[in-house]
Structure 1
Amino acid sequence: MTKDLIIVESPAKVKTIKKFLGDKYVVEASVGHVRDLPQKKLGVDEANGFEPQYGVIPGKQKVVDQLAKAAAKAGTIYLAPDPDREGEAIAWHVAQIVKEANPRIERIQFNEITARAVREALENPRPINEKLFESQQARRILDRLVGYKISPLLWKKVRKGISAGRVQSVALKIVVEREKERLAFKPEEYWPFKARLEADLPPAFDADLVKLSGKKAHVGDAATAEALDAELKAQPFVVKDVAEKERQKSPPPPFITSTLQQAANQRLGYPAKKTMGAAQKLYEGVDLGERGTTALITYMRTDSTRVAAEAREAAKTYIVEQLGQEYYPEKARVFKTKAGAQDAHEAIRPVDVNITPKDVAGLLPRDQFMVYKLIWERFVASQMAAARFWDTQVGVTAGRAEFKAKGERLIFAGFLKVHGQDAAEEEPDASDATGAKLLPPLKAGQELKLLEIKKEQKFTQPPPRYTEASLVKELEEQGIGRPSTYAAIISTLLDRDYARLEEKRFAPTELGVTVSDRLSEHFQTIMDVGFTAGMETALDQVAEGKKDWRELLGDFTGDFYAALEKASKEMGNEETGLVCPECGKPLKAKFGKSGPFVACSGYPECKFTSNFVREADGTYRLTEREVGADSGLVCPVCGKPMIVKFGKRGPFLACSGYPECKSTSNFTRNEDGTYAFAATPEQAPPEVVGTCPECSKDVLLKRTRSGSRFYSCSGYPKCKYSKPFTSGVKCPREGCDGELVEKSSRYGKLFYSCSNYPKCDFAVWDWPVDEKCPECDSPILVKKQSKRYGEHLACPVKTCKYRKLQQ
């Protein structure tokens, strides 16, 4: 009997779908895209209506042959890649491959991989959406034109191997412009005041200074602050008014792609790529033991908050039965999807709300479990009743000064019973069970006792650098990219070394700033945020059949080709405004393997180079790290002068007698600017800690150049015995027999990872302690140091706040 063929994207889906369709269908996977534009040439016929030149992706021929073979034996072919533009493109390309073997081709799609959804899709097939495919094709050709036309120009003018992208370059500009705002920012001094007050009944409370002489309070210097402090202490503090009212807080909508990425970054510390990888597996299906392979969430690339009626009903039943009728609102919640959203798919939600995080806690890898927990809690909370608070606001006068104090009391938890409060930790005093500050009973005209005036010198802060969460939010608000592209955009910025994460925030590199500035100067249209957002709208119009894809490309290339031609003539090495100290010719900024530097434009006649720093106003300044600068120190090995050099890990001293003498050292600077040798960890004498098990010589405890410790045989290089420094704590990951050993990052920060890496990738930043967390059952704790708690033990699980203070 001839069977019908279902072709999906992922091999993981094959297993999930076969589970409930049995052997009635043959299920095969395309393993993503099977055809694309060529890798080593443009692959677009610009003179012939931008006709693309597709070919089988290298390494995919075996998959293509298997699909064609299966198609020839099938009755009807059902193409079932993901329900989005990329999925439609995969379906179109697969159809081109198999249509000669079997022209009976249908397109099906489902938002969740369940027996009901797949069967409904099979009962309601449709043709391939040509317009949706053309929209994806236009996007692909646009990106190819920008990348293949501009990137070679950057190779010539900036550095070989870098790239430009239609969307990634605009994202880079957003990061760079924020950095420029920070550099241009002028901090201003201010002094906030708090009054610690006491009424007839406890607790004592703080009130903030808000007005002076009827105007917004601003204390700008220490002298004014001291004078005001003395003035306030001489005044009676009297309650001016008390306002009390009930306030409701409604739950947030269920996740869309961008809000899931933001929440996972803020609450779990996950980068967008990790979040989407975990969500993809939850969507395709995971092994749940007795339940078998089960899909846990709906499709995870969406910008719609819409929820299917049956999903709302299932949530209602769960909430009423498990929590009580009072936790369900008077009418079902329906969230309005923002303008411009495609609304092709539902919000991200659990396929079956009755499969709770507790049910899968021991069955999923940690990252998948935490992402599922986020999605499940957010969805259930989105269908629950509002939380209710009793708010109190008190005005207090002290002479010409007016203070305000706010308090709240939770009346009814509502959705917070499931979703929790993402508030910062409150001060340990005067709080109710929810952590909200309480105020004592107060009435107008009541005089209060002043316990303390608190004042503090502060300075206004520049706008913060973007985190992954805030950058995704900015891209979404500006209309840059689509939900499916955010993770790729962020990865590209980091992979190309256009930006680095410093304390989990994006800091543009000198290379990133230069690329952004060059592109902004020569390709103003492409780098315009409004134009890029408008292009997304135009691509949507292609998908809706309102615009021809060739017309869109023609409109784009008209200005693009002209800008490209002009840039190829005018774009040069970046001018620094500095002159060569050796020959007087201009110095220009360049980029090498070890990073940015300035070089004489008179090369090769003049070979002067130097490192530099960029001032806040954008001007260049040569640094003391000039190659060949005399340090004033002599080599301790041969007595020749030590000179300053600059490598991948920064500046260092090297003997001028190189290559005969290879002596090097780190250095410090004295107050008068002179150089001094620094005792680096690797220069410290190694400690004898045992006997080598291979040759019986001493085993030494040494340090790597980046700071981590390791054991090594003193007979090296004849004996190559070595072993990482161990904490003695077993790896807490279930089923792993490794130990946590000391390692260091390329920037010298210590961390502790499993000795079985890369098989096991468990790691923590702090020294591990073999002690179980009493709150979340984490097998280990870590040793931390903070100003507030001093040295203490804490749980390494980000969502657990347990800490154990030292006695």
Structure 2
Amino acid sequence: MKIMVVESPSKIDTLSKILGDGWKIMASAGHVRDLPRKALGISQPDFDLHYEYSPGIEGKPHTGGKARVDRIRLHLSDAEMVYLATDPDREGEAIAWHLKDALGLRDSEYQRVSFGSIEPAAVAEGLRNARKLDMASVHAQEGRRALDRLVGYLVSPVLSDMAGMGLSAGRVQSPALRLIVDRERAIRAFKVTNHFGAVVKFDGGAWSAKWDTAPFVSEERPYVMDVELASRAAACRSFRVLTSDSKDAKENPPSPFDTALLLQAASVKLKMDADVTMKAAQALFEGPPGAEHGFITYHRTDSVNFSPASLAEIRAYAQAKGLPVSDKARTWKESEDAQAGHQAIRPTDLSVEEAGETEAQRGLYRLIRERAIASQLAEARYRNTAVRLVALDGGTAFEFVAKGRVMTDPGWRVLTQGDAADEGNGDDDETGQVPVLPVGSGKLADNAGELTKLKTVAPPRYTEAALVKRLKADGIGRPATYVAIVKTIQSRDYVRVEKRMFVPTEVGQVLVDSLVRARFGFVELGFTRVMETQLDRIAKGELSYRDVVSAAHSELEKELKSVALNSDLKPAHSCPNCQAPLRLLKRPGKATIWFCTGADTCKTFMDDDKGKPVPRKEHPCPTCETAMRRFKRKKGPGFGWFCPKEGCETFLDDKDGKPLAAQACPKCSKALRRYAKKDADKKPTGLFGWFCTGGDDCKTFFEDVNGRPVEIKTAPCPKCDRTMHRRQGQYGWYWGCSGYREGCKTTMADEGGKPVPKRSGGGSGKSSKSASKPKTRTTRAKPK
């Protein structure tokens, strides 16, 4: 028997069908080991990484990394060979190495295989090209992990002390966040400039020409702000043709999708978030359980080119469908850091026009398929016409420009209308069906032109598509990390999304400002780009892991020492007892507090007042006079107070941030406890009551009036003679029969603490003013 280990369990059925008998397919379910969750996990001077098994999910067996490895190990004795078939990227290579190491496989006992798609031909090719682990790629992945960990663990505490709140620095996500913060500040600093232009129309509005303002502006004053001058331009009617030109132009199709382009296209065209897009792509790559093959090739790639075999297949398919195929196979220039051996994303079977189990998967598949086929079609052809006209007014020459474009051959646009990854609004220079005019001839406008009121526009906020595009352009991150970058800055509340655009939160701006003030190099885009290039060089065997990580660590240590010596970068708030930094702690549903980050012996806590620490309000315990502490109730809404002194079990209820005085039950002398009332749907009503803690021996209840227990008044029910209770409801006091469970639904209004019949017209008691007034009737005088 041969064993193949893949990452995702959903690949097992498909691969079992492809490989047939004699194979056992098992899944690692992703990473089985990682760096420690609560420790740095990196030792010096060699910067060795210390791994531990990934933790499991509480309550679910076999989810931890060790359990998954042990499950695979059970079958090793029957295996003639183990094939490590994790994903074909650096992270997949690292997972394969962890599996080999954790399983204790010797070199003769394993083979590393990878395939860019889950289909018979690709799997067979992967097995033919089986190899040993590429340790250079493993070291590159370890380098990324080590650098991320060093920045996170060494910088985050310093950053948090500077800001006085828990902040997390990230080697890659912090520069991404800075892009968003810098753009937001550019928008806020932007000042609108109102300016003017002019447009004239010809031939019944078939085409128009725009005033060329270049002769009237300068570098210091780039816009025409003289309305009188613009009005003169708009008033021109008689023109002479200065130049007239018509030429053929062509437009090549966009490249196939790499990961960044796929994320952009899904965001623009399908309005899908990056995380949703990659999950849909993963499902398409794997195919549904029991499928004959996956639907697309591997989706984490930085290549925009296909293999020669894929190119031939796409071109043959397009030709068979009667589509206009380009004369030569199209290829695109790759970025220097593109990973070798990868190809662009394409369908595994072009004849499959629809694929996917969800609408997100189906929409994404259509984009991928159209893009792959269109990339090999002929260019679209156009006839471009440009005319420049001049009009004279009192010795001033006003030139106007008209541009027109007419499609003569749709080419690749027969399949798709444009680049799905492009957020642009098209060419706004086109002014209609512009004719070719004889140079020197005259031309009369339809009538007086139009004065156009214009204004400058602030730079737009980043959408997810625009941010991924910028990250790729600046060399920040790689295909496997784009989604993690976007998710991290959102999950840590550094940005929020408004109308599909990123807006930095106050915390996000504080983080970026603190990093910039401290002059940490990793927040600079140039530094990040260089570091990514060095990781690529590790993968190519040109640099060593230790040299790259050691140099980055040395630079980081210098920066940290500089921060420690800079008095302007001292902690925002210090503990009044031990001078250690104080840190703000916001807890959902709990009071915001400040806590001391010093030694365990100093357990100073302070209250928060508008973002600043203030001494905690102390309320002495009525039993032992120890300062009581406020806590959030685990069950039910609201807060309570408890005495921290050992042996003293005093608990008090809370009202407006202060402990309520202890109240004793008048019947059994046990303590009374305040509770929040709920409606029939078990939702808080905002009302309270009191109950006796004496248990079954005493079932006394009281109403709550301004934080004090008030005895519930009673009266006999006029219908069933059972006891009626006076209760406080959403609309005031009322009386209800205690026999409601037995079917008596009698309720009465309250007036002066006594039950009275409800008045017609709604309302109860004195709370219904309209019900207490006699009704009047207005009559009209009869006409005489």
- Normalised by the length of structure 2, the TM-score is 0.69
Deviations 1:434-465 (A, max 9, x none): x9942356444132233352233332222222
Alignment of structure 1 residues 305-384 onto 2, 5 Å = 305-324=304-323, 327-357=324-354, 360=355, 364-384=357-377
> Quick check: which has more Rg, 1 or 2?
2
1:491 maps onto 2:487 in alignment: yes
Distance 2:423 2:171 in 1: 38
Distance 2:418 2:199 in 1: 26
Distance 1:546 1:510 in 2: 42
Cα gap change, 1:216/1:392 in structure 2, threshold over 3 Å: closer, same or farther?
Answer: farther
- Say which SS state the counterpart of residue 447 (structure 1) adopts: strand
Cα gap change, 1:137/1:170 in structure 2, threshold over 3 Å: closer, same or farther?
Answer: same
Aligned to 1:154: 159
Aligned to 2:123: 118
1:266 maps onto 2:264 in alignment: no
Deviations 1:59-110 (A, max 9, x none): 2332111111122321100000001110000000000122259951110111
Give the CA deviation at 1:154. Answer: 3.3
Give the CA deviation at 1:137. Answer: 1.1
Deviations 1:716-757 (A, max 9, x none): xx99xxxxxxxxxxxxxxxxxxxxxxxxxxxxxxxxxxxxxx
- Say which SS state the counterpart of residue 91 (structure 1) adopts: helix
Alignment of structure 1 residues 554-703 onto 2, 5 Å = 554-568=550-564, 570=566, 571-573=569-571, 592=586, 609-610=609-610
Give the CA deviation at 1:424. Answer: 9.4
Distance 1:548 1:425 in 2: 42
> Which of 55, 68, 76 is the aligned partner of 2:73?
68
Aligned to 1:257: 259
Aligned to 1:780: none
Deviations 1:749-770 (A, max 9, x none): xxxxxxxxxxxxxxxxxxxxxx
Deviations 1:21-62 (A, max 9, x none): 122311101000001111111112224x11211111112332
Contact kept in structure 2, 1:107 and 1:126, CA below 8 Å: yes
Deviations 1:334-382 (A, max 9, x none): 222122222330111111222223xx3xx53110111111111111000
Matching residue's letter, 1:367: A
Distance 1:341 1:425 in 2: 26
Give the CA deviation at 1:533. Answer: 1.1
Give the CA deviation at 1:564. Answer: 2.2
> Which of 129, 132, 139 is the aligned partner of 1:134?
139
Contact kept in structure 1, 2:247 and 2:385, CA below 8 Å: yes
Contact kept in structure 2, 1:11 and 1:29, CA below 8 Å: yes
Give the CA deviation at 1:388. Answer: 0.5
Matching residue's letter, 2:43: D
Matching residue's letter, 2:409: F
Deviations 1:460-491 (A, max 9, x none): 22222211111111111111111110111011
Contact kept in structure 2, 1:237 and 1:450, CA below 8 Å: no
Cα gap change, 1:237/1:287 in structure 2, threshold over 3 Å: closer, same or farther?
Answer: farther
Distance 2:560 2:606 in 1: 32
> Which of 436, 451, 457 is the aligned partner of 1:455?
451
Cα gap change, 1:72/1:522 in structure 2, threshold over 3 Å: closer, same or farther?
Answer: farther
Matching residue's letter, 1:409: V
Alignment of structure 1 residues 31-46 onto 2, 5 Å = 31-46=29-44
Cα gap change, 1:328/1:102 in structure 2, threshold over 3 Å: closer, same or farther?
Answer: closer
Aligned to 2:544: 548
Aligned to 1:534: 530
Contact kept in structure 1, 2:285 and 2:295, CA below 8 Å: yes
Aligned to 1:277: 279
Give the CA deviation at 1:561. Answer: 1.7
Distance 2:6 2:210 in 1: 60
Distance 1:528 1:101 in 2: 43
Matching residue's letter, 1:335: W
Q: CA RMSD in A?
A: 3.7
Aligned to 1:244: 246
Distance 2:214 2:175 in 1: 45
Deviations 1:117-144 (A, max 9, x none): 1112112211111111111112111111
> Which of 364, 382, 385 is the aligned partner of 1:389?
382
Cα gap change, 1:455/1:609 in structure 2, threshold over 3 Å: closer, same or farther?
Answer: farther
Cα gap change, 1:214/1:523 in structure 2, threshold over 3 Å: closer, same or farther?
Answer: closer
Distance 1:219 1:276 in 2: 44
Aligned to 1:705: none
Matching residue's letter, 2:508: G
Distance 1:497 1:75 in 2: 51
Cα gap change, 1:424/1:157 in structure 2, threshold over 3 Å: closer, same or farther?
Answer: closer
> Which of 82, 86, 92 is the aligned partner of 2:91?
86
Contact kept in structure 2, 1:287 and 1:294, CA below 8 Å: no
Q: Structure 1: which 5+ residue stretches go unaligned?
A: 576-587, 613-656, 661-682, 684-713, 720-807
Contact kept in structure 2, 1:242 and 1:443, CA below 8 Å: yes
- Say which SS state the counterpart of residue 99 (structure 2) adopts: helix
Contact kept in structure 1, 2:387 and 2:436, CA below 8 Å: no
Cα gap change, 1:476/1:65 in structure 2, threshold over 3 Å: closer, same or farther?
Answer: same
Distance 2:362 2:37 in 1: 37
Contact kept in structure 1, 2:251 and 2:380, CA below 8 Å: yes
Give the CA deviation at 1:278. Answer: 0.8
Aligned to 2:577: none
Aligned to 1:24: 22
1:52 maps onto 2:52 in alignment: no
Distance 1:608 1:311 in 2: 63
Contact kept in structure 1, 2:32 and 2:98, CA below 8 Å: yes
Contact kept in structure 1, 2:520 and 2:556, CA below 8 Å: no
Matching residue's letter, 2:378: A
- Say which SS state the counterpart of residue 20 (structure 2) adopts: helix
Matching residue's letter, 1:281: A
Distance 1:591 1:443 in 2: 76
Length, aligned pairs only? 588
Cα gap change, 1:323/1:9 in structure 2, threshold over 3 Å: closer, same or farther?
Answer: same
Aligned to 2:434: 439
Cα gap change, 1:216/1:127 in structure 2, threshold over 3 Å: closer, same or farther?
Answer: same
Give the CA deviation at 1:567. Answer: 2.8
> Which of 86, 105, 113 is the aligned partner of 1:108?
113
- Say which SS state the counterpart of residue 447 (structure 2) adopts: strand
1:466 maps onto 2:468 in alignment: no
Deviations 1:298-352 (A, max 9, x none): 111111122111211111111111124xx01112212221222223301111112
Give the CA deviation at 1:295. Answer: 0.7
Matching residue's letter, 2:337: G
Cα gap change, 1:592/1:194 in structure 2, threshold over 3 Å: closer, same or farther?
Answer: farther
Cα gap change, 1:452/1:611 in structure 2, threshold over 3 Å: closer, same or farther?
Answer: farther
Distance 1:91 1:187 in 2: 56
Distance 1:439 1:426 in 2: 21
Cα gap change, 1:126/1:39 in structure 2, threshold over 3 Å: closer, same or farther?
Answer: same
1:419 maps onto 2:416 in alignment: yes
- Say which SS state the counterpart of residue 246 (structure 1) adopts: strand
Deviations 1:160-203 (A, max 9, x none): 543111111111112222222223333322112222x223xx55
Matching residue's letter, 1:559: E
Distance 1:421 1:101 in 2: 52
Matching residue's letter, 1:145: L
Distance 2:93 2:469 in 1: 27
